[in-house]
Chain A
Amino acid sequence: MSLIEVRSLYKRYGEKEALKNINIKVERGEVLAIIGPTGAGKTTLLYLLDLLEMPTSGRIYFDGMDVTQPGKVRLEARRRMAFVIQKPTVFNTTVYDNIAYGLKWRGAGKSSIRQKVDSILEMVNLSADKNRNARTLSGGEAQRVAIARALAIEPEVLLLDEPTANLDPVSTSRIEELITNVIHRYNTTIIMATHDMSQGQRLANRIGVLINGEILQTGGSIEVFTSPRNREVAKFVGVENIIDGVILKNEEGLVAIDIGGKAIEAVSDYSAGEEVCVCVRPEDITLALSPAASSARNSFTGKITRVVPVGPLTRVEIDCGFPLIALVTKRSAEELNLASAMEVYASFKATGVHIIKK
């Protein structure tokens, strides 16, 4: 049996259904990221997994034990896990005492506590601050204390709720580095919730997409990003071009899709007549000023409606009779002099198109 197994889990708050029919299995040593927009139910799911709250219905098994019934077994199971909640929270005492708490509650001896806390402090680079009151730390430091406090008890499962939300980029990369360290050093099973899909991709080996209280897809991080199972997932993982269409024909796996007068070619098994959504990632679209000979199966003429710089990239919105969004480097945009009302040729490969059946 898996280390954690969740079966048909539901959680209701009054009328609101926060979680619907959740089924997950987490193996020992696995890093699972639950990604989803804010308010999707990620925090609620982690609270249920850490046994801090009771589900409305359904079962949670921890290491083979049913931990859904109230009783001592829940505290015992909870003591084998550690949960870092979203808000960086520290107790109003020294950094050292903060990290020692979990060990004290497990009845550890003074010298073993000292040894463990000191080594963890070194790992999170806070040794110099050990006698400081934790309330005087910055948000990033407080989060490091919170993670250190969780690690001190050497949990079998580490639950992290948006570990880098509200932190600056420097603190974020430090925390991510720390998590990567933990993954390599302790082989801890980690379940983390994040709204940042790229963070999920960076840290996890499996991803579950939670939208509106439902897990819509689970799979390897590349799979979820390249082959989203439905429209909601596609939207969340950054597929900005989702176009409705009907398959016109399928010739040896190369399909032509009618998208209202125009046709898009893609590689797919679907047969003629099926209604589908055509997904094209904006970074897979190339722009040119003239129709150049190319191996790309799809090429459309369109007028630029908007050009927006996004960091090192430029987001170009084009009206090709249907809206299309392309993401090109800033330098390319400058070299091509891309601007509103300009005519451009947008092309993308048939293999770059992902088809979702409606």
Chain B
Amino acid sequence: MIEIWHGLTKAIELIISLDPEVLEIAGRSLRISVASTFLASLLCIPLSSLIHFHRFPGKRILINLIQTFFSIPTVAIGLFVFVLFSRAGPLGGLNLLFTPTVMVLGQMILITPILLGLTISALSGVDKAILDTARSLGASGFQTAVVVLREARFAVTAAVIMGFGRAISEVGLALMVGGNIRGFTRVITTAISLETSKGDLELSIALGIILIFIALVVNIALNRIQQR
């Protein structure tokens, strides 16, 4: 108990004194996860609209499949990306393994099902009367999709927040494809895992608090945006 208390006070000290190592790790975590969430959103929101607004055979099965991938283990994605980018893998020539780039890519793959699935269900939640009204006022297919997305903005933002949460909090993937290289690919979660195993509880707790704080700030920021 004393150890935890000691860790906590030390952690607060580290945060208040703006410890360079802590800031550096937190900054990298934020950059990688924001990048992956942003890129995945850019891809998934239009793709979800495409799936939602079109009727095609196997649509139900596709949505079920997407939902199944919500709970895919991060290490499974890690393994897949590792094999893809390892020297002998099909994309080994790009020399991206153990770089932040491949971590962003891995996180994108990880959160794509969440973003797709939750955006599709957000769009399904919009009253059909909105769709009919937009079309009756002369909206084209694309204009209709934009209106429906606008109506679903709260639920779509929630999907993005969920995706970001999963991206910044995962550890297996970052460890496997990032390699936890100090000053290069070390992020909050991999650092916590390493420092805890080394017995450095202070740094771990400090990073844990920062992780929660980042999640809070991102939530507030996104909520502000959606209220506009």
Interfacial residues, chain A to chain B (CB-CB below 8 A): 47, 50, 52, 75, 78-79, 81-85, 87, 89, 91-93, 101-102, 105-106, 146, 149-150, 153, 159
Contact = CB atoms under 8 A, between A and B. Distances in A.
Given A82-B138, A83-B132, A106-B138, 18 more contacts: A47-B132, A52-B136, A81-B136, A84-B136, A85-B129, A85-B133, A85-B136, A89-B132, A89-B133, A91-B130, A91-B133, A91-B147, A92-B151, A105-B137, A105-B139, A105-B140, A105-B143, A149-B137
Contact of B138 (A75, A89, A91, A93): A75
A149 B138 CA distance: 11
A259 to B, nearest CB: 49
Contacts of B130: 89, 91
Contacts, number: 55
B82 to A, nearest CB: 44
Nearest to B136: A83
Nearest 4 pairs of A and B residues by beta carbon: A83-B136, A79-B138, A102-B137, A89-B129
Interface string B44-80: 0000000000000000000000000000000000000
A180 B132 CA distance: 25
Nearest to A106: B138
Contacts of A79: 138
Interface in B180-194: none
B135 interface: yes
B87 interface: no
Interface in B135-179: 135-140, 143, 147, 150-151
Nearest to B152: A92
B138 A50 contact: no
A288 to B, nearest CB: 53
Interface residues of B, number: 16
A251 to B, nearest CB: 57
Nearest to A93: B150
B143 A87 contact: no
Contact of B135 (A52, A84, A92, A159): A52
Contacts of A78: 135-136, 138
A78 B134 CA distance: 11
Contact of B150 (A87, A91, A159): A91
Contacts of B21: none
B200 interface: no
A91 B135 contact: no
12 contacts: A47-B132, A75-B140, A78-B135, A82-B137, A82-B138, A89-B127, A89-B133, A101-B137, A101-B139, A149-B137, A150-B137, A159-B136
A280 B92 CA distance: 90
A83 to B, nearest CB: 4
A153 B140 contact: no
Contacts of A81: 136
Contact of A85 (B132, B140, B143, B151): B132
A49 to B, nearest CB: 11
Contacts of B143: 105
Nearest to B146: A105
B137 A92 contact: no
Nearest to A86: B129
Contact of A102 (B127, B138, B140): B138
Given A87-B129, A89-B129, A91-B147, A50 B136 contact: yes
Contacts of B134: 101
Nearest to B135: A52
Contacts of B135: 52, 78
A75, A89, A150 interface centre (most CB from chain B within 10 Å): A89
A136 B105 CA distance: 43
Contact of A153 (B133, B137, B147): B137
A223 to B, nearest CB: 31
A43 B134 CA distance: 17
A148 B222 CA distance: 33
Given A91-B150, A92-B150, A52 B132 contact: yes
Nearest to A152: B137
A335 to B, nearest CB: 51
Nearest to A150: B137
